[in-house]
């Protein structure tokens, strides 16, 4: 791994509502010789891309697992997060003896284009003005994110990917990878995702974006220049989205109608109920680790995602001739990306005789189940990756 990272740098980034500085790890500038042409038609060149990796790359570079993170995730999938101080969002999945076994695999997670943890995005400085780009940043797509990831792997000398995996928006990237680069992707594990964003999910995203833009502290996207921050709007956006990540059963089991540190209701608008307090906490902590403009851009990228659109709605044609092996995993109580969405992808793959397996995990934990302790889910990932490693000849 040391030789692989010899041309990368580590960098600091001004972050959060109080604009403190944090270390964001490895950053490599890509697309210096050949600009990245975005789907909106604009071009980007010499793009900084932040990433983290675990394990050792073997001699023939056949043990690479690429993790794609979700909307509010980042490259810190395992280990200690530099902003929150908490362990990474997939810390239980990555490491020696874990499903993504770092004694066997080289695991890499790349911060997506448009995000706020080191990769080029709205917080990046415009060299012509010396100020953050804000809304001057171009509108991006999931396809643009994947294209930039491919450019980074090219620069690192990695051509073949043993497996690409991720949940939610990460799963969208997995499907995009398999569609764009079937010759590079030996296997794919899309988790709790869909081949296109539903009207319901677009609606929830629009509520979140409007909450941010209605906050007077948003300042038409120029809040950093004015040393302000739309905390209230971003917090409401997070609270709204977070409800979709849970399930009714999980909310009832965890909170019910229990009161928060009181014996009776106050007949006011403070947080009387535990569920209210929980959502307020989720919103409050989120604003300290995420950028409001990045939230606008990345949710929009998810809204635009429609994998079958390139073949007039025929999703099967997207995968015709693919040699990639698929393991599609969904969760029974997920109403953000319900099992029906994953089954649609399975039917498309079956229609072109692709190698695909499907599993629906029974759980009441909702969409966020892929981030939580679900032994059945872990066993599925571990078993599939073990089979792929044996097939490819990756030593145990």
* Residues that are catalytic: 168, 334, 367
Instruction: Count Cα atoms within 13 angstroms, Cβ side, for 115.
Output: 28
The DSSP letter of residue 44 is E
User: Distance (Å, rounded) from C-alpha 27 to C-alpha 33?
Assistant: 17
Choose among 32, 37, 28, 31: nearest CA to 10.
Answer: 28
Looking at the chain, how many residues does it have? 396
- Torsions phi, psi for 166 (to 5 deg): 165, 160
| Rounded CA separation 91/241 (Å) | 23
Q: Is-contact 166 328, C-beta < 8 A?
A: no
Cβ neighbours of residue 276 under 8 Å, at least 6 residues apart? 260
Q: What sign results for the dihedral spanned by CA atoms 286, 288, 290, 295? A: positive
Please state, in angstroms and rounded to a whole number, the distance separating the CA atoms of residues 343 and 66.
23
Calpha distance 116→74 (Å, rounded):
8
| SS3 letters across 4-46 | CCCCCEEEEEEECCCCEEEEEEEEEEECCCCCEECCCCCEECC
H helix intervals, the chain: 142-155, 169-180, 199-214, 231-245, 248-254, 274-286, 292-304, 315-318, 339-351, 375-392
């Amino acid at each position: 791994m040391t030789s692989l990272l010899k041309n990368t740098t580590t960098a600091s980034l001004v972050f959060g509502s109080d604009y403190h500085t944090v270390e964001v790890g490895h950053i490599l500038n890509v697309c210096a010789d050949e600009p990245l042409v975005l789907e909106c038609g604009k071009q980007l060149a010499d793009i900084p891309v932040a990433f983290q990796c675990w394990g050792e790359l073997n001699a023939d570079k056949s043990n690479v697992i690429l993790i794609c993170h979700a909307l509010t995730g980042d490259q810190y999938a395992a280990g200690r997060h530099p902003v929150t101080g908490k362990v990474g969002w997939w810390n239980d999945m990555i490491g020696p003896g874990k499903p993504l076994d770092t004694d066997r695999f080289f695991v890499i997670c790349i911060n997506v284009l448009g995000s706020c943890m080191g990769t080029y995005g709205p917080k990046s400085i415009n060299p012509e003005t010396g100020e953050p780009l804000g809304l001057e940043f171009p509108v991006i797509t999931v396809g643009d994110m994947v294209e930039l990831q491919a450019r980074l792997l090219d620069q690192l000398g990695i051509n073949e990917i043993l497996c690409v995996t991720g949940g939610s928006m990460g799963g969208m990237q997995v499907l995009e990878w398999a569609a764009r680069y079937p010759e590079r992707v030996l296997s794919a594990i899309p988790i709790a995702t869909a081949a296109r964003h539903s009207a319901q999910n677009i609606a929830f995203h629009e509520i979140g974006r409007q909450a941010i833009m209605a906050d007077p502290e948003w300042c038409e996207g120029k809040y950093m220049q004015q040393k302000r921050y739309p905390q209230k709007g971003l917090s409401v956006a997070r609270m709204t989205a977070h409800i979709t990540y849970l399930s009714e059963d999980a909310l009832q089991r965890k909170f019910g109608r229990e009161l928060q540190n009181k014996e009776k209701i106050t007949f006011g608008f403070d947080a009387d109920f535990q569920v209210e307090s929980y959502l307020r906490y989720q919103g409050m902590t989120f604003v300290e680790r995420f950028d409001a403009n990045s939230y606008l851009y990345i949710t929009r990228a998810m809204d635009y995602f429609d994998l079958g659109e390139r073949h007039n709605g025929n999703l099967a044609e997207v995968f015709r001739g693919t040699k990639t092996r698929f393991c599609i995993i969904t969760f029974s109580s997920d109403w953000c990306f319900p099992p029906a969405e994953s089954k649609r992808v399975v039917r498309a793959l079956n229609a072109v005789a692709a190698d695909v397996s499907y599993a629906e995990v029974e759980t009441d934990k909702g969409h966020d189940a892929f981030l939580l302790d679900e032994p059945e889910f872990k066993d599925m990932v571990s078993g599939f990756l073990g089979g792929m490693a044996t097939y490819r000849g990756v030593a145990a």
